[in-house]
Amino acid sequence: MPTIVLPTPGGALAPFTTSSPRGFPDRPATPFNRVAYAAAHVVADPLADVDPWLRPAIDWETTIAFRRHLWRLGFGVAEAMDTAQRGTGLDWPTSLELIRRSLEAAAETPGASIACGAGTDHLIADPNLGLDDVIRAYEEQCAAIEALGGRIILMASRVLAARATSPDDYARVYGRVLRQVKEPVIIHWLGEMFDPALAGYWGADDHAAAMDVCLAVIADNAAKVDGVKISLLDKDKEVAMRRRLPAGVRMYTGDDFNFAELIGGDGEGYSDALLGIFDAIAPAASAALAALTTGDEAGFHDILRPTVPLSRHIFAAPTRFYKTGVVFMAYLNGHQDHFVMVGGQESARSTLHLADLFRLADRAGLFRDPDLACERMRRVLAVRGIG
């Protein structure tokens, strides 16, 4: 197997010999017994004449090809979410174009499942904005997605977090929006570790109190809620909320630290999944979910166990920079020909962080072509002055 020289803490360099790929199947033999959405990244266009910090430029062909890769592996696609750099480089007009193209591709792909993020990110920051403006913004994006035939993931709103003064304000906004949607939605509670602007969401800094508010909103609108995705990186909080959900409302884990345990479940239930890490570990996660479907719980955990340290590394604080690791994995595995990101976020993680990511991905058997992964890692190191 190929060997590469990687940086180590303290400024030293050390050889690292890669492992053999685990050879995960190209597609599952049967549908999963968990609902599993992969929040998919976007591929930037490196040749576009734009200033990356100011305007997004998307390589549409490669972006849609990656979604077909996820569908082949049995995943649904959660489109235009934070993994796609929504609100951190990807604006609403580009997000809507992404949604349109993905929905068209899904319609051409037998069995493809897709749900699309609706939020309020097109609002221009203005201290005079009120709750009615938030409601109208949600209504506008929901209507645009539904007009294209899409299902909705109702994303958390930075403007709502800034303007709400009580839990009742959240109940008003969500109640108004949920009464109007055509199909049940997935509510996404994104924690402040992913987006500091969402601190105090649901009108409480304490997550237990916030959970009470969110559960009340769901109970009041249960017919319009397919499920809730919480991204708090705390398995105990997720399990506690899961056990309190109304019958028929799913818990979609957004816990990229403890996803294997939460999907596997316990004697009282399990979580379905809507995860950014599935983008980076898709072949392994597909094989693991296929094993779980056949009752092979040991095989499920055997496959996912080495991916958990990788996921915890990719999503390490500052967690909002996790997209850099997700895109880096796609580059190393040949799903795109460059390591350029919307907003220039390829620079958001250190060289040591990327080197550790490489080691952890190899230990999980995730490189389908170790020679290619080493070649591409060397290119990145050379650009960063190592070589």
Residue showing tokens 């496959």: 303
In a domain, 363, yes or no: no
What average pLDDT does this structure show over 44-51?
96
Residue 366, pLDDT score: 98
Q: Say if residue 127's pLDDT is above 90.
A: no
Residue 10, pLDDT score: 87
In a domain, 140, yes or no: yes
Sequence-distant (≥ 6) Cβ neighbours of residue 256 within 8 angstroms: 231, 233, 275, 276, 277, 311, 312, 314, 315, 322
**Strand duo 152-154 + 272-275: pairing:** unpaired
How far is the C-alpha of 83 from the C-alpha of 98, rounded, in Å?
13
What average pLDDT does this structure show over 75-79?
98
Tell me the per-residue pLDDT of 161-207, one tens digit each, with 9 for 90 and over: 999 999 999 999 999 999 999 999 999 999 999 999 999 999 999 99
Contact between 174 and 217 under an 8 Å Cβ cutoff? The reply is: yes
Q: Residues 308, 206, 190, 213: what is their CA dihedral angle, to the nearest 10 degrees?
A: 130
How far is the C-alpha of 142 from the C-alpha of 96, rounded, in Å?
11
3-state helix, strand, coil in the chain (%, to 5): 50, 15, 40
Q: Compute the mean pLDDT over every residue in the chain, rounded to the nearest whole number.
A: 97
In a domain, 386, yes or no: no
How far is the C-alpha of 360 from the C-alpha of 88, rounded, in Å?
26
Residue type, 131: L
We report the CATH number of the domain holding residue 270 as: 3.20.20.70
In a domain, 9, yes or no: no
In a domain, 2, yes or no: no
Q: pLDDT band for position 125 (50/70/90)?
A: confident
Residue 358, pLDDT score: 98
Residue type, 364: A
Q: Say if residue 124's pLDDT is above 90.
A: no
Contact between 186 and 156 under an 8 Å Cβ cutoff? The reply is: no
- The structural domain count of the chain equals 1
The tokens of 277 are what?
């890490």
What average pLDDT does this structure show over 230-252?
98
In a domain, 273, yes or no: yes
What average pLDDT does this structure show over 332-341?
98
Bond prior to 318 in cis (omega within 30° of 0): yes
Strand partners, 16: 4
Residue 11, pLDDT score: 85
Q: Say if residue 47's pLDDT is above 90.
A: yes
**Strand duo 36-39 + 272-275: pairing:** parallel
Residue 126, pLDDT score: 84
For the chain, percent of residues with pLDDT exceeding 90? 98
Q: Say if residue 49's pLDDT is above 90.
A: yes
How far is the C-alpha of 330 from the C-alpha of 356, rounded, in Å?
16
**3-state per-residue secondary structure call for 25-53:** CCCCCCCCCCCEEEECCCCECCCCCCCCC
3-state secondary structure at position 185: strand
Q: For residue 228, which of 178, 289, 262, 272 has the smallest C-alpha distance?
A: 272
Question: Residue 183 is part of which domain span?
Answer: 31-350
Q: Say if residue 305's pLDDT is above 90.
A: yes
Helix (H) or strand (E) holding 380: helix 370-383
How far is the C-alpha of 168 from the C-alpha of 213, rounded, in Å?
9
How far is the C-alpha of 292 from the C-alpha of 257, rounded, in Å?
19
3-state secondary structure at position 170: helix
In a domain, 234, yes or no: yes
What average pLDDT does this structure show over 47-55?
94
